[in-house]
Structures are given as structure tokens and as C-alpha cells.
Amino acid sequence: MDRSRITDLYFAEARSKLIDLAAFLDRIERSEGADDFRMKAFRAALHELGTPGPDKAKKILLALSDPTEEPAAQAGTKSASGAWAGR
Amino acid sequence: MRYIEPHAHMVSRVTDDYAAMVTAGCRAVCEPAFWAGFDRSSSQGFYDYFCQLTDYEPRRAAQFGLPHYSWLCLNPKEAENMSLAKEVLAMIPSFLDRPNVLGIGEIGLNKNSRNEVTIFEKHVELAVRYNQMILVHTPHLEDKWKGTRLIVDMLKRNQGVDPARVIIDHVEEHTVDIVLDAGFWAGITLYPQSKCTPSRAIDMVEIYGAQRLWLNCACDWGHSDPLAVPKTAIEMKRRGHSEAAIDRLIYGNPLQFLSQNPKFIVV
């Protein structure tokens, strides 16, 4: 499928998500307090969007991932937060 | 359209979902054992749950003409309680001969802890000892990449594991190649927020090919959509994929994997 057809299919949806993302960042900027580890990881991952080249989704997922290799001593909690706290 | 839903937690769904799935072309549904949303207080709770998965739920699905299959295990979210886990592991063999049980699953990791690793390895040993297929859950969000690598390494270390009889589920763009390159099957789970969207799933199919891949909705008691697979098929058609390619991915592939267990029959 050529680029024009992909753009036809997905531009409106991606545009909507882009504005939602911008509005989320505006909302964060208006709020009081400092970025926690999730927002720090989020801002670091955002750089991948503007970097030329393939595999942007993979690079963003990796930027938000725990890069360590050894099992954790304990589970601690059952839920995930979406970003690695140790970065 | 016809499809097989290879991963759905139907005990959490209402009967209207069964009706909708059958109307959309679902020919069989498979239900791995799952965390209830709270920790069960004893192994007796698991006994009741396994009875539900192997007796009551197949009868509920049969009301809609839908074959129902199950996988049994203790979910990694409950693996920190080692004594409970060992009691449940000891109970599982007594259920393996039930007619709708396909194997051990969904085992795996959640927070990649040492106890989770220990209980995962014990489940794999159980599967090998009883010649069972394996369905693996990979962790959520930031824990997925590490957990997937740990899981693949553990499975590869066990000489009794045949990768062709193991599906590693919930892959995303950063883990799909790890799973496929090691010779395992990979599952893509379609969720509204976490895991994967239909368009991203189709991207992965286009990049890696459809071989050893299946799609599932993994619908449960959280945000999830029991019709995610047929909706993704519609998205594939919109993107120009042929009817044959769609049928292969959402019907042929799960049929190929699941039919390795002769109990799995779709008419």
C-alpha cells in the first residue's frame, strides 16, 4: 500500500491522537508540582517521535521498559505503571 | 468471516458476549486460567475455578453452539504465595484428562520476581512431565521486555520443551522478534489501551509475516473487547489484505497450533 493510501486511511486518526497528546502535555504544564518518573520517561520517549528512521514504536516501548536482566527480589505490587522507575 | 478466539476469559463476560462472538463468526473459544482480580484465599478456590473452566463454562458456551476449551495453571500474580502455588500445582494433574483441557496456561511472569520465576519453571516442568502444550503470559507495560527475555531463556534451557507447542502471548513491537526468532508461536493481544491496537497488530503481521502468529482479545473483567479479533479482520480488509490472508491469520493459524492437541476439534 502506498504512502498516499496509508495517509488517507490513518491521517485523521493520528491527527486526533497528536492533538490529544499535546493537550495532555498542556494539562501537565498547567498543573502544580514536578514530573514524576513516569513523566520523565514519557518526555524522553517523545524524542523518538522526532527522530528520523524506522521502528519508532519499538524504540518508544524500549525507552519505557525496565532494561535490567536479573529477577526482582520480590514482586512488591501486582500492577505496572507504564514506565520504569529506576531510570 | 470465521475465526477462533484463542484467549478469552469468558467467566468474566456476560452471555450477550457469547451471542455477539458467535454472530461475528467465532467457531471456538479458549480460556486460559487467570487471576480473579483478587487473590484466592486457598487452593480450594482454585479447585472450584478449575471446575468452572472445565465443566460449567463449556456448558454455558454450548448454549450458543460454541466449543469451549481451557488451559490450567496458577497465574503469576499469585505466585508470590509459594505454599499456595505448590498446592495448586499438585492439583492440576487431576484435571488434565478433562475433555476440554488443552494444556498449561497462562503461566508466565508479572513483576519478574524470583518467586514468579520459580513457579513458572515448576509449571513448565509439569507441562513437560505430562506432555502438555504451554500458553505463556508476558508481563505488562514496563515489565514486558525484561519478562519476555527471562521467559524465553527459561523455556530454551528446558530440553523437554518443544517451541512448536508453546505460544508466548501479548507480544508487542519490542518483543515479537524475540519470541519468533526463538521458534515459538507469538500471540498479539488486542486491547483498547494497553497491549496492542488493531492497526499496530496488522503492522506486525506485515513486517514479520503471519507464520506462527495469532490474534486474540483476552477479554476479561477489565477494559477489553470480546469482538477485537473480527474488528481487526475488518481493519485488515480495509488495508487491502485478501480474504484468504485474513482467514489464515484469524482461523487457520490458531487451528494449526491448537490442533496439536487432538482434543481440539472445530466443526
Statement: residue B98 has pLDDT above 90: yes
pLDDT in tens, B4-44: 999 999 999 999 999 999 999 999 999 999 999 999 999 99
**Which of B108, B178, B139 lies closest to A81, judged by CA?**
B139
- CATH number of domain containing B238: 3.20.20.140
First-residue to last-residue Cα distance in chain B: 15
Tell me how many domains chain B contains.
Answer: 1
- Number of Cβ within 10 Å of residue B176's Cβ equals 23
User: Mutate which of B39, B109, B141 to disrupt the A interface (most A C-beta within 10 Å)?
Assistant: B141
Q: Can you tell me the distance from the alpha carbon of A78 to that of A72, in angstroms, rounded to the nearest whole number?
A: 13
pLDDT in tens, A29-70: 999 999 999 999 999 999 999 899 999 999 999 999 999 999
Mean pLDDT over each residue of chain B, to the nearest integer:
97
Residue B249, CA distances (Å) to A12, A46, A76, B187 in order: 27, 33, 38, 11
The answer on A28 and A41 residing in a single domain is no
In a domain, B197, yes or no: yes
Q: Can you tell me the distance from the alpha carbon of A47 to that of A33, in angstroms, rounded to the nearest whole number?
A: 23
Which DSSP letter does residue B188 get? E
Inter-chain contact A57–B200, Cβ cutoff 8 Å?
yes
Classify the phi-psi angles of B216: left when phi > 0, otherwise alpha if psi is within -120 to 50, otherwise beta: beta
**pLDDT tier at B258 (50, 70, 90 boundaries)?**
very high
pLDDT given for residue B267 in this prediction:
82
pLDDT in tens, B44-78: 999 999 999 999 999 999 999 999 999 999 999 99
The answer to whether A84 and A65 have CB atoms below 8 angstroms apart is yes
Q: What's the domain range around A39?
A: 34-65
pLDDT in tens, B210-239: 999 999 999 999 999 999 999 999 999 999
Tell me how many domains chain A contains.
Answer: 2
**pLDDT tier at B193 (50, 70, 90 boundaries)?**
confident
The answer on A40 and A12 residing in a single domain is no
Q: Cell 514524576 maps to which residue?
A: A36
Bridge partners (DSSP) of residue B28 are B4
Q: What is this model's ipTM?
A: 0.96
The answer on A26 and A2 residing in a single domain is yes
Please tell me which residue of chain A has the smallest CA distance to B196: A57
**Which of B122, B40, B137, B36 lies closest to B81, judged by CA?**
B40
pLDDT given for residue B195 in this prediction:
86
Which chain B residues touch A if contact means CB-CB below 8 Å?
Answer: 35, 77, 79-80, 110-117, 139-146, 149-150, 172-174, 199-200, 203, 238-240
The answer on A22 and A41 residing in a single domain is no
pLDDT given for residue A1 in this prediction:
85
pLDDT given for residue A76 in this prediction:
87
The answer to whether B116 and A71 have CB atoms below 8 angstroms apart is yes
